[in-house]
Amino acid sequence: MSDVLDRGAVEIARAVAARETSALDLTEAALARAHQRDGAVGAYLAITDEVAREHARRVDARLAQGARLPLAGVPVAIKDNMCLAGTRTTAGSKMLGNWVAPYTATAVQRLLDAGAIPIGKANLDEFAMGSSCENSALGVTRNPWDLARVPGGSSGGSVAAVASGTATFALGSDTGGSIREPAAFCGVVGFKPTYGRVSRYGLIAFASSLDQIGPIAKSVEDAALVYETIAGVDAADATTVARPVETARGALRDDLAGVRVGIVREFDLAHLDPEVRAVYEQAYRDLEKLGAELVEVALPTADYGVATYYLIAPAECSSNLARFDGMRYGLRVEAADVGATYEATRAAGFGDEVKRRILIGTYALSSGYYDAYYVRAQKARTLIALDFRTAFERCDVIACPAASSPAFEFNAKSDPVSMYLMDYYTIPMSLAGLPSLSVPCGYVTPEGGRTPLPLGLELTTPLFAEAALLGIAHAYEVGTRHAQKQAPPALEAAR
Ligand code: GLN
């Protein structure tokens, strides 16, 4: 059974549909593996044994009736800011530490309808605010490549679950990089579709003009299958776009002939550590070897991305998180009167980073500062999007690092700005709403380091060009096979 679990989503679904194994037997094996392996990694806030079994039984029954289920029996980890009816959905916060979701997020429901089995709810930075998973109020997640290092964030539990083999794929959410940066840190594929492609219904909101759900998987092909399953218009989310979802798997290709790859002039690799730089230079050469033509493109305003994001995202967060007042959801700390109850609840329920964002956002939106900060940030956002549009007149896809370094050690980024800068390469794409993914592109062994650590290549295409993006990423992946060259030691030890 263990060998079936080590396969990709496409093959597992095929094996279960062919009745090589029942979904229930496979689920039992997946749960046993998750309980056995997750102690060291801590990917999950909860392993949802009973819910998983219930869905597995349902999948077996539906298969017996002749249903065709593209994700039959495939174990999935769900980031714990997505609702799964009847399970605790905490957003990594004490505020929702005991909150049980009364309904299921659309993206999650589409996976369940396709036969996927929810193995557990994955850890995250509180309300998805962070780049290391260290802001979770409810648990520590370690990087399976080196347990002394962070998995990245905010979808740290989701990537760690896939990297340690306890889930075949996972759902993450990405507001400014939270799928792509952790995917790079853990050596897996992380894909953020175009804003509006995947319903946010049932995703606990952080910054609603940026939040997007996407797949985290062991291969681009698996990511494409999951993307096709979850994407598309949803009446429950008015920002979803009624535009047909092309079959991304049909667009998977093996070479890059005729593809123009944009290399961003402003993203000077000379800023990077020499070893890291060498990996990216090699990645660009590999793209060329596969038939692509490299062209230089300019993103002159991308450098303002982080500053722009850290006004817009906190502004939206301060508004979205106003609902956690002790009256409607989750934690309530009783005090003398209503006002005091609000204050006591919010003081006890939110962690430091969330409070910092609420303060920054409330300030940026306050009368007298609104024009100076929030409105200017919106103008900068438009300029960044326009830069991309101009760049895409000269290229089909933009390639750059997903992060400036491999995974770092716990407590290495003690000041907030150094943490914010981890998303330097992912935030501009988020502000522009573009589809963007990270695919493994090599390894570095840090000085004094015990093990090689993975790096990710970020690829980005124009709005709604998901199929082209996945096709290009697949060609790079099969042409280089980096993910096959190394395996996380935590996983080796468990074998
Ligand atoms: N690291 C960024 C932040 O802290 C992005 C988080 C995300 O994409 N959810 O806001």
* pLDDT (tens digit per residue) in 417-475: 999 999 999 999 999 999 999 999 999 998 776 789 999 999 999 999 999 999 999 99
Residue 376 included in any domain: no
Distance in angstroms (rounded) separating the CA atoms of residues 437 and 246: 17
> Could you tell me if 147 and 233 lie in one domain?
yes
Which pLDDT band holds residue 33 (cuts at 50, 70, 90)?
Answer: very high
Q: Looking at the structure, do residues 289 and 344 belong to the same domain, yes or no?
A: no
Residue 44 has pLDDT above 90, yes or no: yes
Gap from CA of 22 to ligand 1 centroid (Å): 39
Ligand 1 pocket mutation pick from 175, 317, 408 by most atoms within 8 angstroms of CB: 175
155 classed as catalytic = no
Whether 378 is in a domain gets the answer no
363 with 423, same domain: the answer is: no
The alpha carbon of 130 and the centre of ligand 1 are apart by a number of angstroms equal to 5
What is the number of other CB atoms lying within 10 angstroms of the CB of residue 232? 17
SS3 122: strand
Q: Identify the DSSP state of 486.
A: -
Which is the closest atom of ligand 1 to the Cα of 313?
10
- Enumerate residues lining ligand 1, CB below 6 A: 128-131, 154, 174-178, 206, 313, 423
Say yes or no: 140 and 213 in one domain. Answer: yes
| 493 lies in the same domain as 348 | no
Q: Is residue 92 part of a domain?
A: yes
Active site residue 430: no
Strands 75-79 and 169-174: parallel
Q: How confident is the model at residue 159 (pLDDT cuts 50, 70, 90)?
A: very high
Amino acid at 481: R
**Lowest mean pLDDT segment, chosen from 53-67, 345-359, 419-433, 475-489:** 475-489
Q: Is it the case that residue 495 has pLDDT exceeding 60?
A: no
129 and 241 co-located in one domain:
yes
Ligand 1, atom nearest to 422 Cα: 1
Check whether residue 271 and residue 404 sit in a common domain. yes
Q: Which of 79, 192, 218, 413 is catalytic?
A: 79
255 and 172 in a common domain:
yes
Last residue of a domain, one of 349, 371, 393: 371
Confidence of residue 141 (pLDDT cuts 50, 70, 90): very high
* Residue whose CA lies nearest to ligand 1 atom number 4: 130
**CATH number of the domain encompassing residue 169:** 3.90.1300.10
Residue 94 a catalytic site member: no
Structural domain including 257 reads: 1-298+385-495
Task: Please tell me whether residue 369 adopts helix, strand or coil conformation.
Answer: coil
Task: Give the number of the atom of ligand 1 that is nearest the alpha carbon of residue 178.
Answer: 8
Q: Looking at the structure, tell me whether residues 277 and 362 fall in a common domain.
A: no
Residue from 125, 134, 150, 413 to probe ligand 1 pocket by mutation (most atoms less than 8 Å from CB): 125
Q: Residue 474 domain-assigned? A: yes
Please indicate, yes or no, whether the overall pTM of this predicted structure exceeds 0.85: yes
Distance, CA of 13 to chain centre: 22
Residue 209 lies in a domain: yes
Whether residues 409 and 491 share a domain: the answer is yes
Active-site option among 93, 154, 155, 219: 154
- List CB contacts of 347: < 8 A, sequence separation 6 or more: 333
Catalytic-labelled residue, pool 132, 136, 155, 178: 178
Tell how far the Cα of 315 is from the centroid of ligand 1, in angstroms.
14
Together in a domain, 137 and 188? yes
How many folded domains does the chain comprise?
2
For residue 377, tell me if it sits in a domain.
Answer: no
Residue 248 covered by a domain:
yes
Same structural domain for residues 319 and 292? no
Compute the distance from residue 309 Cα to the ligand 1 centre, in Å: 9
Residue 379 lies in a domain: no
Q: Quick one: pLDDT at residue 289?
A: 98
What confidence tens digit (pLDDT) does each residue in 220-244 have? 999 999 999 999 999 999 999 999 9
Q: What is the dihedral of CA 163, 215, 132, 444, to 10 degrees?
A: 50
How far, in Å, is the centroid of ligand 1 from the Cα of 462? 22
